[in-house]
Copies of this chain bind each other. A is one copy, B any other.
Amino acid sequence: MEDSKVATILEAARKRFAHYGISKTTMNEIAADIGMSKASLYYYFPDKENLFIAVVEQDFSEFHRTIEALLNKPNKASYKMKKYVSMRNELLGKLINLSKVDGVNMSQALNPVYDNLKIKLFRKEKEMVTRILEYGVKEGEFVKLPPETYADLVITLLTGIRSQGILLSAGGDVAAFQERIASQASLFVEIFLNGIKKSKSQS
């Protein structure tokens, strides 16, 4: 693949998605924006859904790089965990803008095209949170715990906060529900960290 062409397509697609949402964007418009023939565009991406997935994966790659950098810093595990949650909220807020979906459209958008993506991202997230937890256990900041099981729970709960928020916000104010999600996520992570921290007497 010619990377620069792909990059140009992704940039144009991202602009369209961010302004009009996925459902109101056509492959024709994206091709026209960059003076490319429809046939050429389809050569790179078989359909709009796959193009959308590629844009989402680009954002996730950037997120992973940021988290990778965070993991390599000497901060406390609890700091890393909080930072992870707030950066995750930011990322997912950006993606909500990209798809311009409300609750109802979101459940319609839960179609199998995205299932593979979701499973892949879930695994990757679990991996990152596992590393934060392992680090906290190793450093004696958290009690001894099975990091993978706990990471699985954390991602499940964070995703759950989000999907409940989306459900409850159906047709409502996106900004308000983003705020609700963010505050519930940060309250959750506070309680969670408090629940797994090693007490003074245990150290």
Give A contacts to B, CB under 8 Å: 107, 110, 149-150, 152-153, 156-157, 159-165, 167, 184, 187-188, 190-196, 199
Residue of B nearest to A160 (CB): B160
A160-B159, A192-B195, A194-B195 given; A153·B107 CB < 8 A:
no
Task: State the oligomeric state as a number of copies.
Answer: 2
**Is there contact, CB below 8 Å, between B153 and A164?**
no
Q: Within the assembled complex, what's the spacing in Å between the Cα atoms of A107 and B149?
A: 26
Residues of chain B within 8 A of A161, CB atoms compared: 156-157, 160
Residue of B nearest to A157 (CB): B157
Q: Within the assembled complex, what's the spacing in Å between the Cα atoms of A187 and B196?
A: 11
Q: Within the assembled complex, what's the spacing in Å between the Cα atoms of A159 and B184?
A: 14
Q: Distance in Å from the Cβ of A59 to the closest Cβ of chain B? A: 21
